Chain A
Amino acid sequence: MANTREIRRRIKSVKNTQQITRALQMVSASKMPKAQAAARAGRDYATLLNRVLVSLRERVDQDSHPLLQQRPVKKELVILVSTNKGLCGALNTNLFRETSRLEKGRTDFISSGRKAAQYLARTRRAMLAEFEVKELPTLAEVRQISRFALDKFLSGEADKVTVAYTRFVNTLTQKPTLQTLLPISTDTLPEGAAELAEDRKNLKGTSADPENGYGYLFVPDDRSVLDAILPEYVHFQVYQMILNARASEHSARMVAMKNATDNAKTLIKDLTLEYNKVRQAAITTELLEITTAQMAVG
C-alpha cells in the first residue's frame, strides 16, 4: 500500500487537473452559444442565395460556366477545417480518420486550423497552403481560403474541391463531413433545398411560378449575375462551414471537459478514501507499537 504522502501528492495533482478542465469547460460553455448563433445567423442568407442560384441554373446551360463544369477527377483539393487547440475529445481524430481514406497521390490539402496543419505534416500529405483562422472569422477573412481554392480549380490544378469539416448537429453530436464545394452541382446544394421546395409551392400560380416558364428577369443579364453570384456562393459556403466547425468545436470541448471534470471528482473521492484508510492503518500500527513497547518495558 502506498504511503500517505504519495497519495496526498496524487490528490493534489488531480485537483489541479480538475481546475484546468473545469475552467476550460466554463470557457467553452460561454463561447458555445455565440458560435452556434453565428452558425445559425447565416441561414436566411443561405436560403436566399440558394433560391437565386437554383432559378439561375434552370435558365443557363450546365456547362456554360467553368464553376459548374464536371471534369474527370485527376486531382482533388481538400480544405481541412480543424480546431486550433486540442482538448476537445475525439473531434479532430474523427475528422482526420475520414480524410485518411482519401488517396494519397491524387489529393492535395489546404489546412485551416493548427491541428490540421500538424496532422498533414505528420502523415506527409501534400499541403498547398496553411491558413490561420480566428475564433469567429469574418467573411472577408474566409475569402482568402475560398479564393485560393477557386483559383486552383479554375486553373485546372484541381478538378474537384472538397471541404472536410465537423458538421454541428447538436451539442452532443458532431458529424465529420466531406462536402463537395466545386464544381457546384445540384446535389451539393445543402440544407436550404427543403425551404426552397416550400417556397416553390407558395409561388404556384403567381407570375414567378417556375413551371409556367416565366422565371426571373435578370439585370444586367443572366450571365453576369451568374458570374457574380457563383463565387459569392462558394465564399459563403466555406464561411458557413467554418462557423459550423467552430460551433462543433466548442460543444465537443464543453462535453469532453465536463466528463474530465466529473472523472477527476470520482478519482479524488477514491483517492481520499484510500488516503484515510492508509492514515488510519498507520495510526493503528503506531498505537499498537507504543502499547507493545510499553508492555515490554513494564
Chain B
Amino acid sequence: MPTLRLEVVTPTEKTYSEEVDMVTIPGADGEYGILPQHIPLITQLKPGALKIQRGGQESFLATGGGFAEVLPDRVSILTDMAMTAADVDESAAQAAIDRAKATLQDKSIGTEAQAEAEAMLARSLAQLHVKRHGHGQGVPDSR
C-alpha cells in the first residue's frame, strides 16, 4: 500500500518527518483526512490536533495556525507550533489559557493584542486536547 511522506516544519525546526498511512489535518473549513494519492491541495490550518495513522497506530501532534501543502505522495505542514503529547506541559498550557482569557476580557488592548491572545488561546487548547486525548485512549505514541 502506498504511503505518504508527512513533514511538519516550524520556523525553528523540522518536528516530524515520517512515512505515514493517513493524516487528518485541522483545515480552515474542517478536518481533512488525507490518504495517499490525494489531489494537490493547499489549505489554511486552524490550531488543532493533527492525527497521524502509521502502521495501525495513531498519534497526535498539537499544531498552531499555518498552512498545509498536499501532494499525491507528500503532506507538508507549515505551522508556528508543533508538539507531541509528551511535550505538552499541561499546567503551562492551562496557565496560558487563563492568561489569554483574561487578556480577551480586557477590551482596551486593541485588535492586534486581541488577535494575539486569541491565537494563544487556540494553541493552548489544541495542546491540552492532544495531551488528554492521547492519554484518555491510551494511544501509544509512535515517536
Contact = CB atoms under 8 A, between A and B. Distances in A.
Interface of A: 38, 41-42, 44-45, 48-49, 51-52, 55-56, 139-140, 147, 203, 206-208, 214-220, 224-225, 228-229, 232, 236, 239
B11 A216 contact: no
A49 B78 contact: yes
Contacts of A49: 67, 78
A207 B40 contact: yes
A219 B43 contact: yes
A48 B9 contact: yes
Given A147-B112, A220-B29, A41 B12 contact: yes
A219 B29 contact: yes
Contact of B41 (A48, A56, A217, A236): A217
B77 to A, nearest CB: 9
Contacts of A38: 12
Contact of A217 (B39, B72, B76): B39
24 contacts: A38-B12, A41-B12, A41-B13, A42-B11, A42-B12, A48-B9, A48-B76, A55-B42, A203-B71, A215-B40, A216-B40, A216-B41, A217-B41, A218-B41, A219-B27, A219-B29, A219-B32, A219-B42, A220-B43, A224-B28, A228-B44, A228-B67, A232-B66, A239-B11
Interface in B80-101: 80
Contacts of B53: none
A52 B14 CA distance: 17
A220 B116 CA distance: 22
Nearest to A49: B78
Given A44-B9, A206-B72, A208-B71, A52 B40 contact: no
Q: What is the interface of chain A mostly: helix, strand, loop, or mixed?
A: helix
Given A52-B69, A208-B71, A45 B78 contact: yes
B24 interface: no
A209 B24 CA distance: 24
Contacts of B28: 219-220, 224
A256 to B, nearest CB: 28
B103 interface: no
Nearest to A208: B40
Given A52-B42, A206-B71, A232-B67, 7 more contacts: A55-B42, A139-B80, A208-B72, A217-B40, A218-B41, A218-B42, A219-B28
Contacts of A44: 7, 9, 14
B10 interface: yes
A230 to B, nearest CB: 12
Contact of A207 (B12, B66, B72, B76): B72
Contacts of A56: 42
